Amino acid sequence: MGWVYFGSLQEYHPVLKLSAGKLTITSLVFIILLQWAITLLAALITEELAFRGYLISRFHFMTPCKAVMISAIMFGLWHAPIALLLIKGGWLRGIIYIVNISLLGIVFGWLFIRSKSLIPPSIAHGLWNALEYTFWGMGNEQGLLLGSHRVLFDPEEGVAGTLILLVMGARLLIQLKKTAGGSAAK
């Protein structure tokens, strides 16, 4: 989450260390719920408050579509230090990461505009981070699913994530544009 880094999967839960690498469904659910709770709270009081609560609200003179797009780009750029400091393996992974986080910012922005609340984007943000960190990893920390193919399949650092988030983001922006009818963000 931007400037906040909580550590690797093993640091979150001694359950995985004690199980000698044998992950049970119970410990997996525990890991995901713990990471979700931590990142939900951290996302709510930092990134969601800043990028959705403050920025989108400050852009009240723009259409919701434009406000969400600008906020999403700024959200992606906010994550550039992670791309520079935590992601090793070349510039391509870093650029894909920043683009994908910007596209993800569209999803969170849409949730904020539609709900008029920080709770839905914060819940989604916490869940995204919990699943991303658990299954795909963070920076150079490996998750449960991926080996060395992150540039292809990782939701945050991979081309597959770009394609899915691009389609989803475009669809949500089109929907925002249609439902807002050109009116300014509230």
How far apart (Å, rounded) are the C-alpha atoms in residues 45 and 32? Answer: 20
User: Taking the complete model, does pTM exceed 0.95, yes or no?
Assistant: no
Q: What pLDDT, on a 0 to 100 scale, did the predictor assign at position 90?
A: 75
Walk along the chain (186 residues) and give the pLDDT tens digit of each residue. Answer: 443 444 444 454 444 544 455 677 887 788 888 888 888 888 888 999 999 999 999 999 999 999 999 999 999 999 998 888 877 777 888 898 899 999 999 999 999 999 999 999 999 999 998 888 888 777 667 777 765 677 777 778 788 889 999 999 999 999 999 887 655 555
Q: Quick one: 127 exposed, middle or buried, by C-beta within 10 A (0-12, 13-18, 19+)? A: middle
Which residues neighbour 180 within 8 Å (Cβ) at sequence distance 6 or greater? 63, 64, 65
Break the chain into its structural domains and give their ranges.
9-180
State the Cα–Cα distance between residues 106 and 35, nearest whole angstrom. Answer: 22
Q: What is the pLDDT of residues 12-52, one digit of tens each?
A: 444 454 445 567 788 778 888 888 888 888 888 899 999 99
Q: What residues form DSSP beta bridges with 138?
A: 141
- How much is the pLDDT for 167? 94
Query: What's the pLDDT at 113?
Result: 96
